[in-house]
Amino acid sequence: MTSSYRINYQLRAHKRDPLIEFIKGLLLTPFVLHAKPRKPVLTPSDARGGSQQGPEAGNGDEDNNDYQEEEKPMVDANLQRYLEIMKSVEAMIEEHRRKVRKGVPEHSRLHRIVPSVASFFTPLPLEAAFLNANAKHSIAARRFVPPSFNDIRRILNTAQVMAIAPTLKLITFDGDMTLYDDGTCFTETSSLIPLLITLIRAGLNVAIVTAAGYPGDASKYEERLGGLLRSFRNHKLSEKQLERFYVLGGECNYLFRCGWKKGGATEEGVVGLTYIVPEMYQPADMLAWKSEDIQELLDVAEENLRRCVSNMNLKTTVLRKLRAVGIVPLEGAKIAREQLDECVLSTQQRLLEYQQMSGPSKVAIPFCVFNGGSDVFVDIGNKLIGVQVLQSYLGTAPDATVHVGDQFLSTGNDFATRSSCCTLWIVSPEETEGVLKELTPLLTFPSETE
């Protein structure tokens, strides 16, 4: 049973998405006002007890028949009201896009209502997406469960897939809980593999943008993605096709390209990853980050994380890397989500204060503090920079890029990508499979098979 404590925790600002909450509030109106309750059914015991019979009362069968006659018109009418609302939100988003192009996003009606609203790089056909969701989840027919956060999140995903499919050139994925379960590896039995291969064969660039950071070490990523890379080989993808698959680790710090390599004692050809040196793809301002400044920022982050561990008596170990620092639970220990979020929000605040106190003479190095579900990490850079780096390297625009991830709350590391590309918010590898099954039939494939 869901406790009131859990419900209240989900109402905290860092656990809510303002746009989704706004749309959910709008859809409550037709649900409350127009989803009519069933007529009461008179049972035989009621009749024997001498219940009062009004002009609209009758036996149970008659009431059931009346209800069946009224049910479909009620559902159709409610669906129409939902569609009217989604069409209105669709128009508000389009108006916001026009204001953004004119350089005055704050003048849009949507911005006034939802001040934190992000950019929209494509239109969103919400009316069509709602019809799709209603066919799957019978939203308009529900009488006791109103449109939920997850209903709206999925509707937004479907609308984004419909809008971006004709222009899509680059699709990026988070790793854990997006392509595979948390802390596991990509296995050959994954149902996502045929879908990812379809994306590559459709001419798209496909990249995994992950927090996992192994400086220049392709073997670590090859181990995590072993099942996928072996499947690329088994499906005989060409060298040109393989070169459209990338891995960007440490949020934005370590880029690898897929391709054929010689491996093992037999020198047999295998599909692997090749490290691309930073000078090949990183912009000048990123290359200018000084090592001593990076380590100083990580020192401040580590100090704050250790303070959190001490104050809350957490059973963790501190893990320091070249461009990251974090806390991970000891074997058999578990950190509560509230404690994880406390570590994230506290460290975010401490690092912002540190950068403000540093003055204008020191470059403020971008960072990302995020709740990984079971751990907390501070990374140098973030996925916003990661996606932008790939867009620049591959020559792809924001309206032709989509990022798929599960961490779009303010304590997650996918959140920042909203500023640089379209996004799909999923909660599991199964949902990733669902959105890719919606996307792949809409893609245009090259006329010649490579």
Catalytic residues: 174, 176
Judge whether 314 and 335 are in contact, CB under 8 Å. yes
Q: Please list, in sequence order, all residues whose beta carbon lies within 8 angstroms of the beta carbon of residue 255, skipping any fewer than 6 positions away.
A: 246, 247, 248, 249, 275, 276, 278, 280, 281, 389, 393
SS3 408: coil
**For the residues of 199-250, what is the DSSP string, one character each?**
HHHTT-EEEEE-S---TT-HHHHHHHTHHHHHHHHHTT--HHHHTTEEEEET
Q: Please list, in sequence order, all residues whose beta carbon lies within 8 angstroms of the beta carbon of residue 410, skipping any fewer than 6 positions away.
A: 13, 14
Length of the chain counted residue by residue: 450
Q: Which residues pair with 368 in a beta bridge?
A: 379
Report which residue type is found at 194: P
Quick one: the chain helix, strand, coil %, rounded to 5?
A: 50, 15, 35
Structure tokens at 185: 């590896």
Q: Which residues pair with 422 in a beta bridge?
A: 402
d(CA 81, CA 86): 9
d(CA 320, CA 326): 7
d(CA 118, CA 100): 10
d(CA 276, CA 312): 41
